[in-house]
Structure 1
């Protein structure tokens, strides 16, 4: 029997990989720096075929950050890793999600310094998400890189068809990003990346707690050869922590991949439904509103290398076609149980479908990406859109009413980008050419440039300038009821944003500081124009300049103080100052001027005993436009084993009653207990 003989060598330092024993093989097909030697790893290398046993030496970077360096993030049209990216992309890892006092994606985003989460209902029933002082309509939401934003209203943007246990990481792209992810990324984008496991397993999770709340989800992952498939589903309900805030929600999600030489396929499909008491969500005058939403999504994409055996730039050519679609239903009652248009009941059906084709290739001057996307948006409604002829009315399933109005528009986007990587320098420059059939104007061009420089392994410096636009939603254009009035003549919002930043990492510590300035024109807001006004009007209010900075620091105490009880300390602060020059008299603003002036977050993780640990988080914030500042303290205590977790968590320990938006009062202390278990197949 042959026995592998291992040569004795001095320690070798892998500078950009995790310290796991399999780290080299997890990055096969990429260039690896071993000491001062640059080698290309083999496509089908095996661990037992390497004849030199290596002993990994300690380096100056944290385990989690080193592993993250090799993750390809959504910061450019061509694939760049977090280390290479010229744009600031904050990545919320699976480890961050596990330690957070969170039951929903929205709860996780609250702990991101530059993100503003305005919660209307508990457990993410309805949440408004914005970035760097923008509004909830000014960000793009992506699921595995596919745009699932809702052009009816950003209020429903957080209807995610995935459970929190499905998520691998969340990428937060701050700043105008039209040329990277599309026109609606006015102030940033959020990309939710799910995990499709490399081994077959079954996961089951459940929790229950205050106010009659309980929630459960399960998933099955099957991995066989080049195929990966995973299906998950969940159900949750609650009596709600405040009056008329009860809810029921259900979700299902399926994803799969197939990989072979020169071809990778990926697909996903999901559904989520919510029925909830909407309290005073849209008007403080009515405290018994009700809403039902349904969302169905599907997409198929590919990564194709048609000339993998060719020479020159053709050998690096990659095509990335994608087709996608989603349908959204929204049933709203101004007074729960009251039917008919005269009672404020509305039905909406939104359809979005599109296709994109991207390509990128390397050549002597760098990496170039080109592509196009065409997206059709259509709404059938009892309130939004142009009136249909009576013979064109569409029946509404489950109701004796009919859709009597329709709106539709087509968005066409062309993009070009070039990336240069030279030593520690990265330059990414490009533009988006965009045409919307509703704007009745020529195609607009929105350029941008991002630059980063790494003078050494500790520092990274950023600078960027980007332009973007945001087309009014159907709600902005057509709403007409007793408390709101839209405007079909609204112009698209436009912005020009500058951003700079610096990141420093050393053994056991990280620091990120960034600043931004955005100049917005034709900004859209819902306002009372006079003190006597009884309706909010949607208006292009004029110019808004947002400027501010964020600072974050993380201490990996388990590395600085090995063996001690404290493991991690994170603190962050965001400040925003706004100047506005309005074209109309404004007495009260509903959204655009209600930005966060101050936001401070702090979290501490520590061990208690054996596998028992705790995580604490504090959030303090002050919102403009008449809101009182508040502080909120949360805690999670968990027992973590290899294949199961148990936890108890308390949200709002001090039971402080606060307001995130309008007259929607948030509940006091909310306690949940639960766990999850994994069975390997």
Structure 2
């Protein structure tokens, strides 16, 4: 029976809580709507992060901690359709904003050194040139993303870590280990790393500066403007140093802009960035030449929308478009010009567009999508030789681009996710076609499973396949110390991974193991003891297998008022099995894996706002490298609107080698500070 309601209540919607004494009375006689916010990462990453402080159900409040537990409702990667951390069938490692602030780090690369499954082979200070790999792979076998946009270069993975953002711009870094082709495309051969930039909650200006050893100094700025539904941020910075070792000086410049618009039916995100660096490359690419030099320039742009036709998450269409350009100027001998002296110029352009959609319905979450990516290079050495009438002038020099390479990568995705109680099944397939190969479609399936028997335990298992097309460097390099091969076959892998996570108040631990079965793996090798040139070669079958253990103790939850605030430790071990019919005397990359890696971090208070963070890393690399231990420390005074710090890298002044003949700097001390000014 219809009954007229005389005491109908007006719904009260609010965006934040207030501590005013009269605040409770505002709710009397009204219906109060409380909502939660979730943020997509990696594939669905946006520039608006959320705190990693947890929100738990009452049933879990007595067993789970409140500081180090990840927010279960945050959307994480590992699938084409967005799933929360609670639902996800994959293990995703996250370096949080708190981790970034604590760390004695000058770059993103320094932060990744503390990720157990990540191998960082840094050639110079401040991450000027760094090779990053995952689970025993090589630097060309991972996908690098910035806010979910693939910025990897088809020229070479050596310059992949040339980011237009600084540490002060970053909200978190996410690491997905293992083959991930069905999520990010064929380039995610051994995993993916995504940089998610941080939003400011208010309009403000941030300024920072630092200086220290080896003539190092630099500064950063950031301006954030929030007006209604539009958020914008502009940042920039400059750093220079003598480098700490012979011919390792550098100058770095960067600028970054991002913006977002939010409404009920559509969310928009856009970004643009510029990075520029000039550096002495010492013995980076050959121990025979200790006076190499390189300059790189990178421009990135992208725009993405989440279109919600029904005003909610039941059905979402996500178009994305992006472009980035990499310019590389290399001299085998610093100051000597001309092709005969080993000087080369390269300009790589990548144009991409994708259209994805996901729907939530009775049988789960289904996602479909497609991505088209065109890779184009103009070079003085890489690609096919052009007719002279098609040569292109190189700005600022009398040289001309006389080689060109083009290839188009087309990917089609299909995935379905089933969530039943504590069980999640995510299965999908990638159909990929690359004109650099034979133009046929190849299929790369994957299945991920997770099970949560209770609030504390979660078990994972997955199997995924992937393929990697050779870079232009692999195919076309030809100089006095290296020789590429245009006949290289693409790499193929099939990866199995399993693990478990345990979590309770103040304690979190993750144990995982993997087995990666690789075929036609590409490496640069000396074929015999008499060889004097490294050759790019398919070195046959290479199986990587290993395990890792990570544990975190949040002492403020275990022992309130404790002098020590956090203890974190990790260990990883990898073993390789290599079989080949090709002669291989010495490997430059693929067989120089980390057999052992152990990390330890300790954070503690000193007095008032003064705190200290310690990081210890021990590792042993194969192929005749000596194991070493590195100790870093950071002292920091933290206030609401400013911070001051002193950090020391390599306190024991241990001189070690992590790649070829590139000797790493000794003790490196930096001091600096930052200030935030509200607008």
TM-score by length of 2: 0.92
Shift of 1:26: 4.9
Q: CA deviation at 1:153?
A: 0.2
Mapped pair 1:580 → 2:560? no
Task: Encode CA deviations 1:206-253: one digit per residue, 9 max, x unaligned.
Answer: 111000001210100001110000000000000111000000000000
Q: How many angstroms apart in 2 are the aligned matches of 1:495 and 1:137?
A: 14
Show the 5 A alignment for 1:475-624: 475-624=473-622
Listed one character per residue, the Cα deviations across residues 361-403 of structure 1 (whole Å, up to 9, x for unaligned) are 0111100000000000000000000000000000000110000
Please state whether the residue corresponding to 2:395 is helix, strand or coil.
Answer: coil
1:232-247 equivalences in 2 (<5 Å): 232-247=235-250
Match of residue 330 from structure 1 = 328
- Residue by residue over 1:259-296, the C-alpha shift from the partner in whole angstroms, topping out at 9 and shown as x without a partner, is 11110000000000000000000000000000000000
Matches within 5 A, 1:587-666: 587-666=585-664
1:27 aligns with 2:30: no
Q: Distance in 2 between matches of 1:369 and 1:517?
A: 28
1:36 corresponds in structure 2 to none
Does the Cα contact within 8 Å between 2:39 and 2:74 map onto a contact in 1?
no
Query: Aligned residue for 1:677?
Result: 675
SS at match of 2:78: coil
Q: 1:3 to 1:362 in 2, by over 3 A?
A: closer
CA contact (8 A) 2:238 2:253 kept: yes
| Shift >6 Å, 4+ stretches | 54-57
Residue of 106, 109, 112 corresponding to 1:106:
109
The answer to whether the 8 Å contact 1:305/1:318 transfers is yes
Instruction: Give 3-state SS (helix, strand or coil) of 1:63's partner.
Output: coil
- Secondary structure in 2 aligned to 1:295? strand
Matched, 1:231 2:234: yes
The answer to whether the 8 A contact 1:654-1:669 is kept is yes
In structure 1, the residue matched to 2:460 is 462
* Counterpart among 183, 187, 192 of residue 184 in structure 1: 187
**Paired positions, count:** 640
Task: Show the 5 A alignment for 1:417-432.
Answer: 417-432=415-430
- Displacement of 1:670 in angstroms is 0.2
Equivalent residues of 1:139, 1:186 under 8 A apart: yes
Give per-residue Cα distances to partners, 1:623-655, cap 9 Å, x unaligned: 001111000000001011111111100000000
Over 3 Å counting, the alpha-carbon distance change for 1:29 and 1:212 in structure 2 is: closer
Separation in 1, partners of 2:247, 2:23: 71
Deviations 1:422-465 (A, max 9, x none): 11111111011000001015210000011111111101100000
1:40 maps to none
- 1:165-222 deviations in Å (ceiling 9; x for gaps): 0001100000000111111110100010001223111111111100000121010000
Residue 311 (structure 2) pairs with residue 301 (structure 1):
no
Alignment map for 1:63-82 (pairs within 5 Å): 63-82=66-85
Q: Which residue of 2 aligns with 1:407?
A: 405
Q: Counterpart in 2 of 1:284?
A: 287
Normalised by the length of structure 1, the TM-score is 0.92
Contact residue 196 and residue 256 of structure 1 kept, 8 A: no
Aligned counterparts of 1:56 and 1:411: Cα–Cα separation in 2: 48
1:197 aligns to 2:207 (yes or no): no
- 2:8 corresponding residue in structure 1: none
RMSD: 2.0
Shift of 1:124: 0.5
**How many Å separate the matches in 2 of 1:226 and 1:111?**
37
Do the aligned partners of residues 2 and 674 (structure 1) sit closer, same or farther apart at CA in structure 2, a change above 3 Å counting? closer
Distance 1:651 1:24 in 2: 46
Matched, 1:318 2:328: no
Any idea what the Cα deviations from partners look like across 1:532-552, whole Å, max 9, x if unmatched? 000000001100010000000
3-state DSSP of counterpart to 1:661: coil
Deviation sequence 1:472-515 (CA, Å, 0-9, x none): 00000000000000000101000000000000001111110000
Q: Tell me if structure 1 keeps the 8 A contact 2:38–2:75.
A: no
Unaligned runs of 5+ in 2: 1-20, 41-56
> Using a 3 Å threshold, how does the CA distance of structure 1 residues 493 and 209 change in structure 2: closer, same or farther?
same
Contact (CA 8 Å) 1:198, 1:228: kept in 2 or not? no
